[in-house]
Structure 1
Amino acid sequence: MASERALLVQLVNKINSGRIVLPTLPEVAIAVRELSQQDDSTLSDLANEISKDPGLAATLISLANSAAFGGLVKTNSVIGAVTRLGLEKSRDLASASAMHQLFYSEQNMTWDKLEELRLANIDVASCALAILASEHQLGRLANLSADVLLLACQVHNIGALPLVDQAEKHPHLFNDKAQLDRIIELLQAPLGKTVLNQWHFPAELVESTRYWADLSYQTPEPSYLDLVRLAALYTGHMRLTDSLSSVLDMFIRKGVLSSVDLFGMETYFLTYNEVQQSFHSSAVPAN
């Protein structure tokens, strides 16, 4: 077993030399994103592509019916969902939903860690979307979109995947899960940036993935990064450096959060629970 410092050096060298395998965008996400860029593609084309993946289709319909996306009138079809959402929102929701396919392994050693990461994505997304839906109801943060935020949440820890892959391929290098957790904490941010750049994702999502866990990095105005960070802190998936009340005050001063009373709003609870249900209803099977 390598010492932690030696392991870090080895992994950093692999990253810098391009010898670490990066995850590829799920095929259905590639197909959907390519379709959305074609001038002659229609919503029916998009619905047909999404329908090829039953789990993805079910998640998309459930999300479209949720309070996060204004689902007052329910739909039970993919074409109904994409018609309501439109091309861009459907693309982002399909991409976000497809990300769960990456957090899966048949190896017992890494199954638990990937499941932990997958569930963290769901928690952060549920909280962030619930905050944004509540702020939208209050007439705030109108420049931030729920579909982009969902995708930001679903890829915020994507940089952990190459490191879990290394643990799976070279288990003799890792002492235990605690060591893997520390390695992920140190290296997932720059790796996440590399992955999203390789996928040609928008700069605002690359920025969010690179800096959400770095409190010293601040955007000039409330951003997707802020909501991912706030949700990660509030749900306990990011360590607090101060009391929760002090941290929440920081977000209130910046204008990201109107008040702590938001967490008691009906819209917050409704949206949080609906997003949770949307993803858990199509979860990958246990190993």
Structure 2
Amino acid sequence: MSAQRALLIILDEKIRSDRLVLPTLPDIALKVRERADDPQISLQQMADVISQDPALSARMIKVANSAFMGRSIQVNSLNQAVTRIGLSQIKNIAIAMAMEQLFVSQHKQVQQQLDRLWRDSVQTASVAVACLQFYKARHRTCKLNTDVMALAALIHNIGALPVLIEAERHPDVFGHPAFMQVLIDKIAAIVGLKIIKSWGFGEEFMPVVEHWRKPQSELVPGYTDFIRLAAINRNYYAPEQAQALLANYVTQELVPVPEFMQQPEIAGCYQDVRALFQ
């Protein structure tokens, strides 16, 4: 039996029997989420939690000084950063900033795949947030939130993570990148839903993980549509699918033109969001 076939059978059996090992959120993300759900928590107490992770603290200051938060007077401390971001957004943004900690393996080939997966996730988040910011500026009644968008984009393909980790036991499959992509496309949505349910994420994240691969626009623009815009930008869909989908999004005014990444406002915000992860 080929390594590809063996891996497919093992993954299918583990998914059906609920024996596939799912990733857990980084410890700091769990702490932030737990405290953020406490209605009595203060900004100072939240800053104290985040300060336990120096890397996350530095990123939160970076976020507070970015276009993501509208940029105003420069902040230099974590307390100031948490105050500017606010408790309503701090949970999703902090979890998003901590997500990179999951993309780690001791296996060289797996790490290469995880690095690529993380880069794609950051690219997706940067495009999706930039397009949403553009849309919200012109549609004031839009209820979509940029902090949810950023986190949704970073986890949109989270189901690929345990697939790659399981593949460590079958290193020959990494010589077949086309097979790995087909395998991820086949399984990642099912696994991704299991992961975000185990993490206790809200309902708004589930359609993103489950449906972003389907090249169809929604009647009312949602988070998944902005993920699809990012997928179009990285040539995920077949050309005719991308063209039809993009035409719908221009009609719905999610983006102004098919060449939306050439728009200065979108391109500038894209660069700002991308810089948060560097």
Fold shared, TM-score > 0.5 on shorter chain: yes
- What's the CA shift for 1:183? 1.0
Whether contact under 8 Å (1:144, 1:224) holds in the other structure is yes
Does the aligned pair in 2 maintain the 1:67–1:271 contact within 8 Å?
A: yes
Measure how far apart 1:202 and its partner are. Answer: 0.8
Mark the CA change 1:232 to 1:73 in structure 2 (over 3 Å): closer, same or farther: farther
- Per-residue deviation at 1:247? 3.1
Task: Quote the offset at 1:173 in angstroms.
Answer: 6.6
2:159–2:188 contact (8 Å) kept in structure 1:
yes
- Map 1:103-182 to 2 at 5 A: 103-140=103-140, 142-171=142-171, 176-182=176-182
Distance 2:81 2:274 in 1: 18
Q: Identity of aligned pairs, percent?
A: 34
CA–CA distance in 2 between the matches of 1:260 and 1:172?
40
How far 1:234 moved relative to its partner? Answer: 1.1
Deviation at 1:70, TM superposition (A): 1.2
Q: 1:174 to 1:88 in 2, by over 3 A?
A: same
Q: Are the aligned partners of 2:152 and 2:208 in contact in 1 as well (CA < 8 Å)?
A: yes
Offset, 1:25: 0.9
Give per-residue Cα distances to partners, 1:131-169, cap 9 Å, x unaligned: 112222334563111100000001011100110110113
- 2:92 corresponds to which residue? 92
Q: Which residue of 1 aligns with 2:203?
A: 203
Q: Which residue of 2 aligns with 1:251?
A: 249
Equivalent position amino acid for 2:159 in 1: G
Bigger Cα displacement from structure 2, 121-130 vs 254-263: 254-263
- C-alpha distance in structure 2 between counterparts of 1:241 and 1:184, whole Å: 21
RMSD across aligned positions (CA):
2.1
Kindly provide the CA deviation profile for residues 232-286 of structure 1, in whole angstroms up to 9, marking residues without a partner as x. Answer: 21133x2334175443212123443344475344332221111111101xxxxxx
CA distance in 2, matches of 1:133, 1:69: 11
TM-score by length of 1: 0.89
* TM-score normalised over the length of structure 2: 0.91
Offset at residue 75 of structure 1 (A) = 1.4
| SS at structure 1 position matched to 2:215 | coil
Contact kept in structure 2, 1:157 and 1:189, CA below 8 Å: yes
What is the aligned partner in structure 2 of residue 231 from structure 1? 230
1:222 aligned residue:
221
Give distance in 2, aligned partners of 1:171 and 1:148.
35
Q: Which runs of 5+ in 1 are unaligned?
A: 281-287
1:33 aligns with 2:36: no
Q: Distance in 2 between matches of 1:170 and 1:275?
A: 36
